[in-house]
Chain A
Amino acid sequence: MDFFTSIVMKVVAKNGLVTAFVVIGVMTWMSYSISKYATKGRIHGSAIAIVLGLILAYIGGEVTGKKAGISDITFFSGIGLMGGGMLRDFCIIATAYGIKLEELKKAGLAGVLAIVVSTFLSFVIGAVVAWGFGYRDAVSLTTIGGGVATFIVGPVTGAALGASSEVIALSIAAGVVKSIAVMILTPLLAKPFGLTSPAAATVYGGLMGTTSGTAAGLAATDPKLVPYGAMTATFYTGFGCLVGPSICFFVIKAIVG
């Protein structure tokens, strides 16, 4: 038996990406069955699959103590490649095939406005919450505000301003909470909050900003909306990294002294 398992493990280890296809395939099949039979189609299969993925990610993180979810366990290492930035971005680009430029033009200006408003709002929310928990220095307040924008803006801002590693870790956590909340809440809140058209998706991408969050959130809501939301979201982190350590820091510093 030992002989058999060692051979299986060897094959799996050598075929990480192929194993990932099998694992994700099984997860998808399970999720769509649950969607169909347990929820009578009320909850989208991909929404269930994404939550299942997040649960696996939690287990992986607890077991290994590392940062990349289930993919830190050798058996599942291929999921790291399959769900990594390279293939994610490649697939997002592929979704643009068939996009209607007219729709994008219609909401373009509103999308840009959404990015600007939401970035500054994130810094305000983050700084206010951090203030409420006793942080008083402009560097920490700005860094945590950046984390509320996205989990990349936080550490980039913190590194530029020389924030403590504890504050930087906190800002990353805030960004991860946001991205996961977007994944889970979008399919539930989409209809009541008017996320039903390409124009609304363009605005939504600019408001949420987290590429992974909007990617998963829209996939679980209506795949047709994905490219519109993804398009604006890809500009958000860059904009946040630009204004975080500069304008936002100066304004917060002027206020708290």
Chain B
Amino acid sequence: MVIYGLLIMGLCAIVGNVLGYMLGGMLGITANVGGVGFAMLFLVLLTRELSKRGYMSKPSESGILFWNAMYIPVVIAMAARQNVVAALTGGWIAFIGGLAAVFAGFLLIRPLTALADTTESPEEPSA
């Protein structure tokens, strides 16, 4: 049943977010630390386990795939509710600071990704 897909995803979302806030609380801040990330991990692990045992039916799967496909429309709606006026009227500090951080981030993609590739290889015998 389609609702089973939503049941699985909903459970992962709630447990993940509870964990995120608990982790935040333990660190002394009222913020959700990685709740959605935990939920994503749970979903991957849980659905893998369920399909191994033959419990992931096509309809349950389609309940998840529907929201997977709704991702882009939801993101478009999210864009339409951003505080764009605040961004454009925030002044030069906001503009320069925000943009500089983005460019710095882009510049770091390659070096850090290269690191990901090398952390993979130590197991290999070096010639």
Residues on A close to B: CB < 8 A? 20-21, 24-25, 27-28, 46, 49-58, 60-62, 67-71, 76, 79-80, 82-84, 87-99, 101, 106-107, 109-111, 113-114, 117-118, 121-122, 125-126, 129-130, 133, 144, 147-149, 152, 156, 169-170, 172-183, 185, 189, 193-195, 197, 199-200, 202-204, 206-208, 211-212, 215-216, 219, 223, 226-227, 230-232, 234-235, 237-239, 241-242
B73, B80, B81, B83: residue with the most chain A Cβ atoms closer than 10 Å: B80
On chain B, the residues within 8 Å of A189 by CB distance are 106
For B99, give its contact among A96, A170, A177 (CB under 8 Å). A177
Total residue contacts A-B, CB cutoff 8 A: 333
On chain A, the residues within 8 Å of B127 by CB distance are none
Contacts A89-B13, A90-B13, A238-B24 given; indicate if A173 touches B90 (C-beta within 8 A).
yes
* B interface, over-half SS: helix
CB distance from A237 to the nearest CB of B (A): 7
0 or 1 for each of B38-78: is its CB under 8 Å from A? (1 = yes): 01110110010000000000000000111110111111111
CB–CB A57/B82 < 8 A: yes
How far is it, in angstroms, between the C-alpha of A89 and the C-alpha of B67 when the chains are bound? 10
CB–CB A84/B81 < 8 A: yes
How far is it, in angstroms, between the C-alpha of A239 and the C-alpha of B34 when the chains are bound? 9
CB–CB A94/B9 < 8 A: yes
How far is it, in angstroms, between the C-alpha of A27 and the C-alpha of B75 when the chains are bound? 12
Which of chain A's residues has its CB closest to B112's CB?
A: A203
On chain A, the residues within 8 Å of B99 by CB distance are 177-178, 181
Of residues 78 to 127 in B, which have CB atoms within 8 Å of A's CB atoms? 78-102, 104-110, 112-113, 115-117, 119-120
On chain B, the residues within 8 Å of A94 by CB distance are 9, 43, 64-68, 70-71
On chain A, the residues within 8 Å of B110 by CB distance are 193-194, 200
CB–CB B44/A99 < 8 A: yes
Provide 21 A-B residue pairs closer than 8 Å at the C-beta atoms, listed in order of the A residue.
Answer: A24-B76, A90-B9, A93-B16, A94-B65, A94-B66, A94-B67, A101-B44, A109-B116, A129-B93, A129-B100, A170-B94, A174-B97, A178-B97, A203-B112, A208-B102, A216-B75, A231-B40, A234-B40, A235-B34, A238-B24, A238-B34
Contacts A93-B9, A216-B78 given; indicate if A61 touches B83 (C-beta within 8 A).
yes
For A234, give its contact among B36, B78, B90 (CB under 8 Å). B36
CB–CB A67/B29 < 8 A: no
For B83, give its contact among A68, A96, A183 (CB under 8 Å). A68
CB–CB B75/A173 < 8 A: no
